[in-house]
Amino acid sequence: MAGATTDGASWVRLYHPSPAPKARVVCFPHAGGSASFFHPVSSALRPDIEVLAIQYPGRQDRRGETPMTDIGELADRVFEALRPQLLREPRPAFF
């Protein structure tokens, strides 16, 4: 898809990094939503729980990118962007 990257920095927002989280949760925005929706959640759960919020193409700072219309391709891109996080402990939960 033109304009959509798999760069983890563009896809994954980590608002409050923790040096030793007890848990890690990946949050997917609601339809029409964006990663910033989870900023207050991240703030409330820190430092024990690390929140990784997904930022879709076409939203907020990625508004110049073409939104994705194929859910399978979107899932593949998110997976690629999250791959480094999936290999770290603690393994993430998904919300």
DSSP 6-73: --HHHHEEESS--SS-SEEEEE-PPTT--GGGGHHHHHHHTTTEEEEEE--TTSGGGTTSPPP--HHH
When the pLDDT of each residue in the chain is averaged and rounded to a whole number, the result is 91
Beta strands 12-14; 49-54: pairing state: antiparallel
Identify the weakest region by mean pLDDT among 6-20, 21-35, 37-51.
6-20
Q: Residue 9's pLDDT band (boundaries 50, 70, 90)?
A: confident
Tens digit of each residue's pLDDT (9 = 90 or more) over 40-58? 999 999 999 999 999 999 9
Rounded to two decimals, the pTM is: 0.87
8 A C-beta contact, residue 60 and residue 35: yes
Q: Is the pLDDT of residue 94 over 60?
A: yes
